[in-house]
Chain A
Amino acid sequence: MIVKTRLFASFREAVGAAVVELELGPRPSVRDLLGLLRRDYPRLGRALDNAMVAVNLEYVGPEFELSEHDEVAIIPPVSGGARDL
């Protein structure tokens, strides 16, 4: 399935697009999506390790299972640092 994924700030600039379409297998997890992003956009580098993922406007973990039409967004650390959430 195709998952439209929104990118912001440094990620948007690194990829040169605010939205990318990722083709994933059936019942993909957030971890799968991140793996594909890493492979297709090596410019994101290790920064991706510190990003969070939001699905339908809520933060989710790596095991979260994606559905068609989910609104997926990669959230780089916010100004104050989202890592200590």
Chain B
Amino acid sequence: MTFNIVDGPIDVAALAAEVLTDYDGAVCTFQGVARRFSRGREVVHLEYEAYPAMAERKMAEIGDEVCAKFGVERIAIRHRTGVLSIGEASVAIAVASPHRQEAFAACQYAIDRLKKTVPIWKKEVWSDGEQWIGWEGVEPATAM
């Protein structure tokens, strides 16, 4: 049950090992990965920024929520900040449970919640510009 922000690569196998016990018949992992193409543009790299203390607290709250909602007891969430190359994981979630259904459901719920409530921001950097995601249509002076 760890919920943390890290500034280096995420080892998803290590995260799975953290939650797995002899009671479990399933461990479901999810990784969000930096992709090359986004809304028609080619991404050079991504940058993630977090409000670490609040992000870790919000991730722990998601963990509690997931445990209550799906009846699972073991979940870990790790999010990376800093510069990410294409193909690298920005976030990983691992849920272990005696049976697979609740592990799958809990994993999906956790990433959906994380994207809505956890204060972490993504910047796409292209060869000819950059933008903080979440800003389309608004009028930030920084959407250069």
List A residues at the B interface (Cβ < 8 Å): 6, 8-14, 43-47, 50, 54, 57, 73, 75-82, 84-85
Rounded to whole angstroms, the CA-CA distance of A73 and B51 in the bound complex is 9
List B residues at the A interface (Cβ < 8 Å): 49, 51, 53-54, 57, 112, 114-123, 132-135, 138-143
- 9 A/B residue pairs, CB under 8 Å, sorted by A: A9-B132, A45-B139, A45-B141, A57-B54, A73-B51, A75-B119, A79-B121, A80-B116, A84-B116
State the main secondary structure of chain A at its contact with B: mixed
Residues from chain B with Cβ under 8 Å of A46 in the complex: 138-139
Interchain CB contact under 8 A, A57 and B121: no
- Report B119 CB to chain A, min CB distance, Å: 5
Interchain CB contact under 8 A, B139 and A8: no
Interchain CB contact under 8 A, A14 and B122: no
Residues from chain B with Cβ under 8 Å of A45 in the complex: 138-141
Known contacts: A8-B51, A9-B49, A47-B140. The answer to whether A78 contacts B135 by CB under 8 A is no
- Report A65 CB to chain B, min CB distance, Å: 20
Q: Which of B114, B117, B121, B122 has the most CB of A within 10 A?
A: B121
Rounded to whole angstroms, the CA-CA distance of A31 and B120 in the bound complex is 23
Interchain CB contact under 8 A, A78 and B54: no
- Report A17 CB to chain B, min CB distance, Å: 13
Interchain CB contact under 8 A, B141 and A44: yes
Known contacts: A75-B119, A78-B117, A78-B121. The answer to whether A47 contacts B51 by CB under 8 A is no
Residues from chain A with Cβ under 8 Å of B57 in the complex: 57
